[in-house]
Chains A and B, each alone.
Chain A
């Protein structure tokens, strides 16, 4: 019976860890996407410096969790987000509103999709 309960405990741990991971990633993705939208609003108002600062803050937050995201998600997705972050920062530096808006929206969507992909939803399981 010891083995049985050990197996049940491991299964419960895996279930809890996966649910926590889903919640954690979704929360980060929502927060980051919201901040990126705020940065875009700032850029629209020609406050490029503030937009740059806010985007860099989000990028730093992403970098701080990079190891974790890399360990639990497909590397293709995390690499794509990293690439788009650099693209967005470059467009901000050039003050290219159209291309920045497109890249920033793309980045926000990628982050949201990442959150959705990790969430404990039936549509993901099916």
Chain B
């Protein structure tokens, strides 16, 4: 039991260190500690599940240890910037002021092909539009274009735009969500009128209906069964 506990703690931090050394590109969309948890936990659960000669507790102790360690580590990373940088790493600026930082790219094992792929994925055909590119700790690339290359916002165009707020779902697959209707301050009469405007007579004819804070209604009619 102690052996299982001690080995789990050692291997947990060893694998985190290994993943940190492998660089951000290997992490995917998870933080190193989350990746380690998802990597080990499935294997740990499978061992006592498959081998009846191993007591269940020898699977439960390491799993519980891992979950608690992850919880402790995640709280520590939130509270302490130094621990966060040790366990999760720091974002790396690979393009600064439009200039590629080759040393930083090499340090993160980021190839030119991978960088170009990320840029294309985010709608940038070449480097000239990119002011800054930051390789985040979760392995994703954040791109900040030059101000001149950014799409204009309503504020830039000095337009006054009303906030539509969060659209609420009123009817989902023919079922009325009465709580949402009440939350928006509408009643059954209002709903029937809106349905009638769309040539509908009953909730069951509606596949999806939403309303935002400005009262804008979106109705999608249910298709006839094939």
Q: With a CB–CB cut-off of 8 A, which chain B residues contact A71?
A: 55-57
Q: Which of B13-71 contact A (CB under 8 A)?
A: 52-58, 61, 64-65, 67-69, 71
Of the listed stretches A44-52, A54-62, A116-124, chain B binds A116-124
A18→B1 contact, CB < 8 A: yes
B71→A4 contact, CB < 8 A: yes
Q: A7–B72 Cα gap in the complex (Å)?
A: 6
Q: Which residue of B lies closest to A8 (CB)?
A: B72
Known A-B contacts A21-B1, A22-B2, A118-B1; the reply to A11 vs B10 at CB < 8 A is no
> How many B residues face the partner with a CB closer than 8 A?
25
Known A-B contacts A8-B72, A11-B65, A14-B64; the reply to A72 vs B57 at CB < 8 A is yes
Of the listed stretches A34-42, A73-81, A106-114, chain B binds A73-81
Q: A6–B71 Cα gap in the complex (Å)?
A: 9
Q: Which residue of A lies closest to B1 (CB)?
A: A18
Q: With a CB–CB cut-off of 8 A, which chain B residues contact A118?
A: 1-3
Interface residue? A70 (CB, 8 A): yes
Known A-B contacts A1-B75, A21-B1; the reply to A14 vs B65 at CB < 8 A is yes
B72→A11 contact, CB < 8 A: yes
A-B CB pair tally, cutoff 8 Å: 72
B68→A10 contact, CB < 8 A: yes
B1→A74 contact, CB < 8 A: no
Q: Which residue of B lies closest to A3 (CB)?
A: B71
Q: With a CB–CB cut-off of 8 A, which chain A residues contact B116?
A: none
Q: Which residue of B lies closest to A4 (CB)?
A: B75
Known A-B contacts A74-B54, A124-B3; the reply to A14 vs B72 at CB < 8 A is no
User: Of the candidates A11, A74, A124, which one forms a contact with B53 in the assembled complex, judged by CB atoms under 8 Å apart?
Assistant: A74
Q: What 0/1 pattern do residues 2 to 28 of A give for CB contact below 8 A with B?
A: 011011101100110111011000000
Q: With a CB–CB cut-off of 8 A, which chain A residues contact B217?
A: none
Q: A4–B78 Cα gap in the complex (Å)?
A: 11
B52→A75 contact, CB < 8 A: yes
B72→A4 contact, CB < 8 A: yes
Q: With a CB–CB cut-off of 8 A, which chain B residues contact A76?
A: 53
Interface residue? A125 (CB, 8 A): yes
Which B residues have a C-beta under 8 Å from some C-beta of A?
A: 1-7, 10, 52-58, 61, 64-65, 67-69, 71-72, 75-76
**5 closest residue pairs by CB, A with B:** A7-B71, A18-B2, A4-B75, A7-B68, A18-B1
